[in-house]
Amino acid sequence: MTKAWLQTLSGRAVTMAKPDPRDIDPLLDLPEMLARIPRFNGAVPGGHYSVAQHCVLIADAILDDGGDVDTAAIGLLHDAHEYIWGDMTTPARDGLVEVEAEMFGDSRIAAVVSEVRRRADQAIFRACGVPWPPTPQQGRTVKSYDIRMLATERRQMLAPSGRRWAAVFEQAVPLKMRGGITIWSIAKAADEYRERLIQLCPAVAHRSQQ
């Protein structure tokens, strides 16, 4: 039986169910593909706000607040699995869970989504030379910055909503940033992401010098 695989921008074949770190291209596929994936399913009135830019802003915020390089690297890579799986938004995942429960009486989709992301992250982190798994403290720190960045993006970039978001997002304190968020072009988002990879991730820095 043929295993499902993804053709990347560079032409590499990444096995979906169990990505191999040797098939991960951090210098081309990772930054370029994340730069082409829009946040919020494209629902940003100002234009194409990418996953790559979101991740760079989180890594920079961690460093600006005195965080260590390892945690900033994890922040940069926290959504890297999306270059393989795409950005399944939280509403999309939750909607699938609701339909599955209606059809079958229970739900396993959320667990499957979590596992495929974990497997992709593991391969990507290893390809980038970042320790896997993150420590519990690193995981909590990056999760906190991710939630606060979402609150910042919502306030600065999204149209007003007639319905309330989940409490964790409604109560989140936006990040203190130097000015507002300016949407980068795809090319700039890819270049900035690649620059942070070289700065923060040992294996990528080594590859860039070869």
Average pLDDT over every residue of 148-161: 96
At 84-128, the pLDDT tens digits run 999 999 999 999 999 999 999 988 999 999 999 999 999 999 999
pLDDT value of position 131: 96
Is the pTM above the cut of 0.85? yes
Spell out the residues 6+ positions from residue 164 whose beta carbon is closer than 8 angstroms to its own: 170
What does the pLDDT read at residue 2? 67
pLDDT in tens, 43-83: 999 999 999 999 999 999 999 999 999 999 999 999 999 99
Residue 210, pLDDT score: 73
> Could you read off the pLDDT of 122-146 as tens digits, one per residue?
999 999 999 999 999 999 999 999 9
Mean pLDDT of 16-38: 97
Mean pLDDT of the chain: 95
CATH for the stretch 25-208 = 1.10.3210.10
Model pLDDT, residue 162: 86
Give the whole-number percent of the chain exceeding pLDDT 90.
91
Q: For position 147, what pLDDT does the model report?
A: 98
Owner of token pair 């770190």: 21
72-94 burial code (b ≥16 CB/10 A, e <16): bbbbbbbbbbbbbeebbeeeeee
The per-residue pLDDT for 1 is 60
From the list 27, 24, 196, 59, the residue with the least C-alpha distance to 141 is 59
- Cα 168 to its chain centre, rounded Å, is 19
Q: What are 167-202's pLDDT values in tens digits? A: 999 999 999 887 889 999 999 999 999 999 999 998
